[in-house]
Amino acid sequence: MKEIALEVSHVSIDYRNLMHMSLHQSFAKDKVKKIDIIRAVNDVSFSVNRGEILGIVGRNGSGKTTLLRSVAGIFQPDEGVIDTKGNRVSLMAIGIGFNGNNTGRENILKSGMLLGCELDYVKEHMERIIEFSELGDFIDRPVRTYSSGMYSKLSFAVTAILDTDIMLVDEVLSVGDERFRKKSYKKMEELMLSDRTVLIVSHATDTLKKFCDKVLWINDGRFMKLGDTEEVLKEYDAFMQLE
């Protein structure tokens, strides 16, 4: 019997948006600020076995990234349970997790600790991360001085080099310049074929067909289908043609 690495049970996630009111309205006794609640993920359930690669598809705004970030523990679901079975989880997504006032080197240490890695382990892999990121002397400068490309390179390098049990990938294969993108894609191939459990959000059908054991399709936050990669992608493509 296959071992389950991740189980998501009846998960729903809401976004709360405080409706804009003027200063005068906010002080009026008969006026109450309205909260607009958007259900980004609605009663989604699935499980992933150890070593499986699960693709997640859906049109923009379907809740894919929200779901991935909840699995990563960035925020808690409003309903349901996400059980990572004690596994260490890393989210490979651009623009998350760095303190702009800290140097690249300091952010590597903090990011590694947040991933559940021992400090000595992170230090042991420090030079490999720096080398892969190609930041050179900038590694000891504050991250707020980085360009978006430099930030992306460091973000990718940290998650790619530090070993975790479950890797969450959110459309990150366009980082840096053309040469770095090719290197990143090669590294992603290596990681996804290393018997690691992977969830990957992508619009790149060829990538999903190449790597994924199965695909989850969600639409407007709702579960649509989970199954064989080719079968689900065929139905999803047909659905998108009708949109």
Query: Average of pLDDT values for 189-196?
Result: 80
pLDDT per residue over 126-176, tens digit each?
A: 999 999 999 999 999 999 999 888 888 898 888 889 888 998 988 765 666
DSSP track, 101-117:
TSBHHHHHHHHHHHTT-
Q: So where are the chain's domains?
A: 4-242
pLDDT, averaged across the chain: 87
What's the DSSP call for residue 3?
A: P
pLDDT for 148 equals: 81
Q: Are 74 and 152 in contact (CB under 8 A)?
A: no
Count of Cβ atoms closer than 10 Å to residue 118 Cβ: 10
Q: Please choose, from the candidates 200, 99, 108, the residue with its C-alpha nearest in 3D space to the C-alpha of residue 159.
A: 108
Q: Which residues contact 189 (CB under 8 A, 6 or more apart)?
A: 211
**Chain segment 9-60, per-residue pLDDT in tens:** 999 999 887 555 555 555 555 555 567 888 999 999 999 999 999 999 999 9
CATH number 3.40.50.1950 given to 4-242:
no
Residues 6+ apart with CB under 8 A from 146: 104, 135, 138, 154
Opening angle at CA 235, ends 11 and 42, nearest 5: 15
Percent of the chain with pLDDT over 90: 55
Q: For residue 160, what pLDDT is reported? A: 85
